[in-house]
């Protein structure tokens, strides 16, 4: 196998995760985006989602909540909504055949975490004002290619 083919194979393997389109499901099984949850000792759940946009984060969170509660009658308390900064390193080749490595920061995927209590009044769920603020809040993450956590 020539060195060139070897490079292509390694690069393809390294980039495989990045090429996967977001798909609803547990984190890890459907790629870097999705949800994870755990039941707390008091019977409530903690749901964590990793998503590309604010809208997707809320959709995933609410969908998982509905699955766990068997309907939309639940109370949620989002305690974390964060876009971490991740450091990316890479190597680029120019048209002249020469290349160079670089290191730069970028916004990562959106992380949202909250408590879910099934059967409780849904007013608190309706109180989350995230959608109204979406145009400003999603801008950084969508402006650059988000990196998976």
Instruction: Using alpha carbons, list the distances in angstroms from residue 2 to 7, 9, 84, 87.
Output: 9, 11, 39, 31
Which is closer to another protein, CB of 16 or CB of 67?
Answer: 16
Q: Is 101 in the site for another protein (CB under 8 A)?
A: yes
Does residue 145 touch another protein according to CB under 8 A?
no
Q: Which residues of 25-38 are buried (b: 16+ CB within 10 A; e: fewer)?
A: eebeeebbbbbebe
List beta partners, residue 88: 104
105 binds another protein (CB under 8 A): yes
Compute the least distance from the CB of residue 40 to another protein, in Å: 6
Task: Say whether residue 38 binds another protein (CB under 8 A).
Answer: yes
Which residues of the chain form contacts with another protein (CB under 8 A)? 3-4, 6-7, 10-11, 13-14, 38, 40, 42, 44, 46, 54, 57, 77-85, 89-94, 96, 98-105, 107, 110, 112, 114-115, 124, 127-130, 132-133, 135-141
């Amino acid at each position: 196998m020539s060195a060139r083919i070897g490079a292509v194979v390694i690069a393809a393997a390294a980039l495989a995760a990045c090429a996967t389109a977001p798909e609803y499901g547990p984190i890890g099984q459907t790629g870097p985006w999705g949800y994870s949850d755990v039941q707390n000792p008091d019977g409530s759940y903690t749901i964590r989602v990793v998503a590309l946009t604010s809208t997707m984060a809320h959709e995933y969170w609410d969908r998982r909540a509905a699955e766990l509660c068997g309907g939309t009658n639940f109370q949620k308390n989002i305690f974390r909504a964060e876009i971490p900064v991740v450091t990316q390193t890479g190597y680029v080749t120019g048209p002249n055949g020469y290349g160079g490595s670089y290191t730069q920061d970028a916004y990562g995927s959106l992380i949202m975490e909250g408590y879910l209590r099934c059967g409780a009044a849904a007013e608190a769920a309706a109180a989350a004002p995230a959608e109204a603020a979406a145009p400003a809040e999603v801008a950084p993450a969508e402006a650059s290619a988000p990196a998976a956590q």
